[in-house]
Structure 1
Amino acid sequence: MKRIVARMWKLIRGPLQWRVLWFAHAKFMVGVTGIVRNEAGEVLLLKHRMWPADRPWGLPTGYAIKSEEFPKTIVREVKEETGLDVVPGRLVQVTSGYKLRVEIAYEALHVGGTLKIDGFEILEAKWFSPDMLPEGMQESHIQLIKTGSPT
């Protein structure tokens, strides 16, 4: 049976192979999170409007758009949500997320911009010492802050 499948695979070269692969495999969304720090080593946290009421605080995060390089996703998301400019740093974590989602986290350094929050998604944005994080944080984000070192 394997030989027959291998022969068939060789016969359908090119675009048809890609179509078969596309139908046969899961499609993923990629969530990108930024551990954004300022020069003082504080971490940027956002109070998200659409997150659970008991856990609204977390790191800047969003989904990659088609063909976007993942470090650029965090630059775009931070700019959209806060008006701040960041430079992405090292990759901290890649994990499988809920259902068909991949989670990627990068360190990032605040380099400028003026704080102006997106009132639709974000209720508040503040800098916190890693030792003095607010109540109501996502546990996974607390762990990212602890494992990520200053950029």
Structure 2
Amino acid sequence: MNRLIGRVWHALRGPLQRRVVWLAHAKFTAGVTGVVRDDAGRYLLLRHRLWSGSRPWGLPTGCARNGEDFRDTVVREVREETGLEVEVGALIRLRSGFELRMEVAYEATVVGGELEIDPLEVLEARWCTADELPEGLQESHRELIQGTMPTA
């Protein structure tokens, strides 16, 4: 039986093999987060319109587009939500998340632009130190901030 499966697999070749693999595995949405800091080391937090009313605060976050490099997702999402330009740094999280979601997070530093929120997605933007984090902050984002705090 194993030989037969092997022969069938090799006979499928390229596109058909990829389709079988695609059908047999979970499909993930890639949620990408930027842990954005300014020159003073403060974190950019947003009160998101479309998030839960009990946990509306979080870091700039969005879904990667098909084929998009995750670093480019951070740059695009921060620009779309806040008007700010960022330079993306180190990957700090890559894991499976809620249901069929993959969570990706990068450090990022503001390098330009003017803070102007997109009112469709964001109700408020605030620069905070790690000691000033607002109530209603997503716990996973609190963990990201605490994990990236600069050491003295």
TM-score (norm 1): 0.96
Deviations 1:61-93 (A, max 9, x none): 000001110011010000000000001000001
1:50 deviates by: 1.0
1:99 deviates by: 1.3
Counterparts of 1:114 and 1:100, CA distance in 2: 35
Counterparts of 2:143 and 2:23, CA distance in 1: 36
Q: Secondary structure at the match of 2:86?
A: strand
Amino acid at match of 2:44: L
Deviations 1:4-38 (A, max 9, x none): 11111011112211121121122111000010000
Counterparts of 1:58 and 1:14, CA distance in 2: 42
Structure 1 stretches of 4+ moved >6 Å: none
What's 1:92 paired with?
92
TM-score (norm 2): 0.95
Counterparts of 1:14 and 1:81, CA distance in 2: 40
Q: Secondary structure at the match of 2:17?
A: helix
Q: CA RMSD in A?
A: 0.9
Q: Secondary structure at the match of 2:81?
A: helix
- Matched residues, number: 150
**Structure 1, unpaired ranges of 5+:** none
Amino acid at match of 2:86: V
**Structure 2, unpaired ranges of 5+:** none
Query: Residues 105-116 of structure 1 correspond to what in structure 2 (within 5 A)?
Result: 105-116=105-116
Counterparts of 2:14 and 2:104, CA distance in 1: 31
1:149 deviates by: 3.8
Q: Secondary structure at the match of 1:7?
A: helix
Counterparts of 2:129 and 2:149, CA distance in 1: 13
1:94 deviates by: 0.6
2:148 is the counterpart of 1:142: no
